[in-house]
Amino acid sequence: MPDFVYASTTLSDKEVVLKTIALLESFGMVDGIRENDGRMCILGALNKAQGFDPFAHDNFDLVTRLHKELSIGAPALKREVDPAWELAEWSNDSVRVGRPQDVINALKTVAERLP
Protein backbone atom coordinates (compact mmCIF):
# COMPACT_ATOMS: atom_id res chain seq x y z
CA MET A 1 0.00 0.00 0.00
CA PRO A 2 1.38 3.47 -0.81
CA ASP A 3 2.42 5.79 1.96
CA PHE A 4 0.16 8.83 1.89
CA VAL A 5 1.78 10.86 4.64
CA TYR A 6 2.69 14.26 3.25
CA ALA A 7 4.77 16.72 5.19
CA SER A 8 4.11 19.74 3.01
CA THR A 9 1.48 22.29 3.88
CA THR A 10 2.32 24.38 0.82
CA LEU A 11 0.40 22.24 -1.64
CA SER A 12 -2.03 23.91 -4.01
CA ASP A 13 -5.74 23.22 -3.52
CA LYS A 14 -5.66 21.09 -6.66
CA GLU A 15 -2.77 18.99 -5.31
CA VAL A 16 -4.59 18.48 -2.02
CA VAL A 17 -7.81 17.45 -3.78
CA LEU A 18 -5.92 15.01 -6.02
CA LYS A 19 -4.15 13.49 -3.00
CA THR A 20 -7.49 13.30 -1.19
CA ILE A 21 -8.96 11.38 -4.12
CA ALA A 22 -5.99 8.99 -4.08
CA LEU A 23 -6.45 8.36 -0.35
CA LEU A 24 -10.17 7.70 -0.67
CA GLU A 25 -9.66 5.40 -3.66
CA SER A 26 -6.82 3.50 -2.01
CA PHE A 27 -8.15 3.10 1.50
CA GLY A 28 -11.91 3.48 1.14
CA MET A 29 -14.46 5.76 2.72
CA VAL A 30 -16.23 5.70 6.04
CA ASP A 31 -19.02 7.90 7.37
CA GLY A 32 -19.37 9.50 10.73
CA ILE A 33 -15.71 9.36 11.76
CA ARG A 34 -12.57 10.89 10.30
CA GLU A 35 -10.60 7.65 10.17
CA ASN A 36 -11.41 4.03 11.00
CA ASP A 37 -9.13 1.11 10.07
CA GLY A 38 -7.49 3.23 7.36
CA ARG A 39 -10.76 4.27 5.74
CA MET A 40 -11.48 7.98 5.96
CA CYS A 41 -14.26 10.47 5.62
CA ILE A 42 -13.73 13.39 3.26
CA LEU A 43 -12.47 15.71 6.03
CA GLY A 44 -10.04 13.14 7.40
CA ALA A 45 -8.69 12.52 3.90
CA LEU A 46 -8.35 16.26 3.21
CA ASN A 47 -6.33 16.67 6.41
CA LYS A 48 -4.15 13.64 5.74
CA ALA A 49 -3.49 14.81 2.17
CA GLN A 50 -2.03 17.99 3.66
CA GLY A 51 0.23 16.06 6.03
CA PHE A 52 -1.93 16.48 9.11
CA ASP A 53 -3.59 13.99 11.42
CA PRO A 54 -7.05 13.09 10.06
CA PHE A 55 -8.57 14.45 13.27
CA ALA A 56 -6.69 17.77 13.02
CA HIS A 57 -8.35 21.14 12.56
CA ASP A 58 -9.68 21.63 9.03
CA ASN A 59 -8.21 23.97 6.44
CA PHE A 60 -11.17 26.36 6.54
CA ASP A 61 -10.32 28.07 3.24
CA LEU A 62 -10.11 24.80 1.31
CA VAL A 63 -13.21 23.32 2.96
CA THR A 64 -15.16 26.50 2.17
CA ARG A 65 -13.93 26.43 -1.44
CA LEU A 66 -14.95 22.78 -1.87
CA HIS A 67 -18.32 23.53 -0.24
CA LYS A 68 -18.87 26.24 -2.85
CA GLU A 69 -17.43 24.28 -5.81
CA LEU A 70 -19.60 21.27 -5.02
CA SER A 71 -22.69 23.48 -4.56
CA ILE A 72 -23.47 21.94 -1.21
CA GLY A 73 -26.08 23.44 1.04
CA ALA A 74 -28.77 25.98 0.41
CA PRO A 75 -27.21 29.43 0.01
CA ALA A 76 -30.67 30.98 -0.35
CA LEU A 77 -31.29 30.28 3.31
CA LYS A 78 -30.21 33.24 5.37
CA ARG A 79 -28.39 31.30 8.04
CA GLU A 80 -24.84 30.69 9.05
CA VAL A 81 -23.56 27.35 7.86
CA ASP A 82 -20.57 25.32 8.84
CA PRO A 83 -19.02 24.33 5.51
CA ALA A 84 -17.06 21.48 7.12
CA TRP A 85 -20.19 20.00 8.68
CA GLU A 86 -22.17 20.28 5.44
CA LEU A 87 -19.28 18.83 3.39
CA ALA A 88 -19.03 15.91 5.82
CA GLU A 89 -22.78 15.29 5.80
CA TRP A 90 -22.90 15.39 1.99
CA SER A 91 -20.07 12.87 1.82
CA ASN A 92 -21.48 10.70 4.62
CA ASP A 93 -24.88 10.53 2.91
CA SER A 94 -23.24 9.17 -0.25
CA VAL A 95 -21.33 6.55 1.73
CA ARG A 96 -24.42 5.51 3.70
CA VAL A 97 -26.41 4.82 0.54
CA GLY A 98 -23.57 2.81 -0.96
CA ARG A 99 -22.41 5.43 -3.45
CA PRO A 100 -18.96 6.60 -2.25
CA GLN A 101 -17.85 6.82 -5.88
CA ASP A 102 -20.18 9.82 -6.23
CA VAL A 103 -17.95 11.74 -3.79
CA ILE A 104 -14.79 10.74 -5.63
CA ASN A 105 -16.30 11.65 -9.01
CA ALA A 106 -17.42 15.05 -7.70
CA LEU A 107 -13.93 15.72 -6.32
CA LYS A 108 -12.40 14.77 -9.68
CA THR A 109 -14.71 17.28 -11.39
CA VAL A 110 -13.65 19.99 -8.94
CA ALA A 111 -9.96 19.12 -9.37
CA GLU A 112 -10.27 19.60 -13.13
CA ARG A 113 -11.57 23.15 -12.56
CA LEU A 114 -8.89 24.16 -10.06
CA PRO A 115 -5.72 25.91 -11.26
In a domain, 75, yes or no: yes
Return the SS3 of 14: helix
Type of residue at 77: L
Q: pLDDT by residue (tens digit) across 65-87? A: 898 888 875 554 445 678 888 88
Kindly give the interhelix angle for 60-69 and 83-96, rounded to the nearest 10 degrees: 60
In a domain, 1, yes or no: no
What mean pLDDT comes out for the span 50-60?
83
Residue 108's pLDDT band (boundaries 50, 70, 90)? very high
Per the structure, the count of domains in the chain is 1
In a domain, 3, yes or no: no
Q: What pLDDT does 23 receive?
A: 95
In a domain, 35, yes or no: yes
Full domain range(s) for residue 47: 13-113
Q: Regarding predicted confidence, which is higher, 33 or 65?
A: 65
Q: Is the pLDDT of residue 3 over 70?
A: no
In a domain, 62, yes or no: yes
Dihedral angle over CA of 101, 3, 37, 21, nearest 10: -20
